[in-house]
Amino acid sequence: MIENITSGNTGMNSEVKHFVLTPEGNVREFSADVAASVASGQSSLPEYAATRLRYLQIALDQSAENEIRVHAGVACLQFDEKGTFSGAEAPSDENEQVDPFEYDACIQWALRETGSTELVYH
């Protein structure tokens, strides 16, 4: 399930997408429900036990004029030995940065269901 938020006074629909970039070079998307459950500690990700992962959150705001605005945020997520989320912080070095290809790939994947046939600038 993808979180859809309708903002009554701006006429924009918003969706928030959650991606983790693994040390093996994979990209994994999480639903808003799973992301919230992991962030709150209600569920864990044992496959990421004792791991620090790069995280990319993408918010898509679509106006009534069918313009899409893309906002992205990057963080590093830390998981304890059981795979429970234990914190997030800014990338600490160059190896933790999201490279341009990963950034563009996640944005294009997030836009895949928008139905936009126009050029996308981000």
Model pTM score:
0.80
Mean pLDDT confidence for 12-33? 91
Residue 117 is assigned to a structural domain of this protein: no
Range of the domain at 51: 3-110
Residue 7 is assigned to a structural domain of this protein: yes
Instruction: Report how many domains make up the chain.
Output: 1
> Backbone phi, then psi, for 94, in 5-degree steps?
-60, -35
pLDDT exceeds 70 at position 3: no
In this prediction, residue 8 carries a pLDDT of 42
Residue 115 is assigned to a structural domain of this protein: no
Calculate what percentage of the chain has a pLDDT beyond 70: 84
41-to-2, 53, 79, 84, 90 alpha-carbon distances in Å:
20, 16, 10, 6, 20
Residue 94 is assigned to a structural domain of this protein: yes
Q: What is the pLDDT of residues 31-85, one digit of tens each?
A: 999 999 999 999 999 999 999 999 999 999 988 777 889 999 999 999 999 999 9
Residue 73 is assigned to a structural domain of this protein: yes
